[in-house]
C-alpha cells in the first residue's frame, strides 16, 4: 500500500515537472519571438526604412545629404534624425551604406525629409533624382583625407552645383568639413581654397569634354548645357561666391554615440534654409 502511494507520488512529481518544463519552454519561445520582432522593428526605425519608402511622395521639404564614400554622411543623417527625440542616444553605429536612407525628422522644430545618398558611383542616378527635389543640400567631406581626395571631392561638389534644379531654384549648399577630431584634419577655410583651386581647373576639362562629344555650333540646347555647366565667370578664377546657389562651409565631428561637434550649427543652417 505504501509502495503504491509512493509510486503515485513520484508519478505526480514527474508529471508536474514535465508540465513546468513545457510551460518554461513555451515561455522561452514566446520571449524569443517577441525579442526578434522588437529587434527587427528597432533596426527598421534606425535605418529609416520603416517610415518612408524610396518612392515616397512626402510633402515635407527634402534635405539631400551627399558626398564621397566614408565621409560620415550616414552618421550625420542619424544624428539629425535622433537629435531631437528621446532616443537620440540610441543612434545606431553606421557602416558604408548600400541603399538610400530616408526618414522624416524635426530639425529645430522644422519638419523635413532627410535623404542620405550613398557615395558609391552606382548611386549617381539616385543622387541626380534626389537633387531634382531638394530644398537644401548638405555635402559632407573628410577633412583628414582632403589632400588625397581633393580631385574626386571637387568633381562630386561640381556635379551638385551644376545640377539644373539646384541652379534654377538657387538651392543652398552646406559643405560639412567632417572628422575635425582627426589630427590630420584641415580647417574649413583651407578646404574651401583647395576646392576652389580644383574646381577652377575642372571647368576647362569639363568644357573640353562637352565639346568633344557634341557639335555645339548650331545646337542651342548644347550651348545652354555648356553655359550651365560652367561654374563662375569666364576669365575669373573660380570662387564659391560666384555660383548662383549660396554655399557655406562648416566644421563638424560626427561620432555616433557621442555628442557631435558642429551639429547645432548644421541644424540651424538646415532650418534657416527650409524656412527661406
**Span 169-223, pLDDT tens digits:** 999 999 999 999 999 999 999 999 999 999 999 998 887 766 655 554 556 666 6
Q: What is the CATH number of the domain that holds 164?
A: 3.40.50.300
Domain count, the chain: 2
Residue 73 lies in a domain: yes
Instruction: Clarify whether residues 26 and 152 are in a common domain.
Output: no
The answer on 39 and 170 residing in a single domain is no
Does 124 score more than 50 pLDDT?
yes
pLDDT of residue 237: 95
The total of other beta-carbon atoms located within 10 Å of residue 86's CB is 7
Average pLDDT value for residue range 247-268: 88
> CA-CA distance, 190 to 175, in Å (whole number)?
13
pTM for this structure? Answer: 0.75
> For residue 151, is pLDDT > 90?
yes
> Alpha carbon 236 to chain centroid distance?
34
Q: 197 and 83, same structural domain?
A: yes
Residue 75 confidence (pLDDT): 92
d(CA 120, CA 100): 11
Question: Does residue 235 lie in a domain region?
Answer: yes
Query: Is 10 within the bounds of a domain?
Result: yes
Q: How far apart are CA 249 and CA 139, in angstroms?
A: 10
Report how far residue 116's alpha carbon sits from residue 66's, in angstroms, rounded to the nearest whole number: 6
* Residue 54, domain member (yes or no): no
Structural domain span for residue 22: 1-47
Torsion sign across C-alpha atoms 239, 167, 250, 182: negative
Q: Are both 151 and 255 inside the same structural domain?
A: yes
- Look over the chain and give the mean of its residue pLDDT values, rounded to a whole number: 79
Looking at the structure, do residues 10 and 134 belong to the same domain, yes or no?
A: no
Q: Are residues 37 and 94 in the same domain?
A: no
The answer to whether residues 106 and 170 belong to one domain is: yes
Amino acid at each position: 500500500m505504501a509502495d503504491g502511494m509512493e509510486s503515485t507520488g513520484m508519478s505526480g512529481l514527474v508529471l508536474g515537472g514535465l508540465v513546468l518544463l513545457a510551460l518554461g519552454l513555451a515561455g522561452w519561445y514566446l520571449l524569443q519571438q517577441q525579442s526578434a520582432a522588437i529587434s527587427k522593428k528597432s533596426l527598421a526605425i534606425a535605418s529609416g526604412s520603416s517610415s518612408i519608402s524610396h518612392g515616397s511622395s512626402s510633402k515635407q521639404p527634402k534635405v539631400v545629404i551627399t558626398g564621397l564614400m566614408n565621409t560620415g554622411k550616414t552618421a550625420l543623417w542619424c544624428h539629425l534624425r535622433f537629435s531631437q527625440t528621446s532616443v537620440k542616444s540610441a543612434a545606431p553605429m553606421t557602416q558604408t551604406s548600400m541603399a538610400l536612407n530616408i526618414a522624416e525628422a524635426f530639425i529645430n522644430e522644422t519638419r523635413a525629409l532627410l535623404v542620405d545618398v550613398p557615395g558609391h558611383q552606382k548611386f549617381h542616378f539616385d543622387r541626380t533624382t534626389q537633387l531634382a527635389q531638394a530644398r537644401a543640400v548638405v555635402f559632407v567631406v573628410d577633412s583628414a583625407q582632403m589632400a588625397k581626395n581633393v580631385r574626386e571631392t571637387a568633381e562630386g561638389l561640381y556635379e551638385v552645383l551644376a545640377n539644373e534644379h539646384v541652379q534654377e531654384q538657387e538651392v543652398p549648399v552646406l559643405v560639412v568639413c567632417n572628422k575635425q577630431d582627426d589630427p590630420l584634419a584641415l580647417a574649413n577655410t583651407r578646404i574651401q581654397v583647395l576646392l576652389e583651386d580644383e574646381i577652377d581647373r575642372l571647368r576647362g576639362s569639363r568644357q573640353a569634354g562637352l565639346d568633344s562629344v557634341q557639335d555645339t555650333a548650331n545646337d542651342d540646347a548644347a550651348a545652354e548645357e555648356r553655359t550651365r555647366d560652367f561654374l563662375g565667370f569666364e576669365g575669373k578664377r573660380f570662387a564659391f561666391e560666384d555660383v548662383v546657389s549660396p554655399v557655406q562651409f562648416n566644421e563638424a565631428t560626427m561620432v555616433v554615440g557621442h555628442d557631435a561637434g558642429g551639429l547645432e550649427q548644421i541644424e540651424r543652417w538646415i532650418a534657416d534654409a527650409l524656412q527661406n
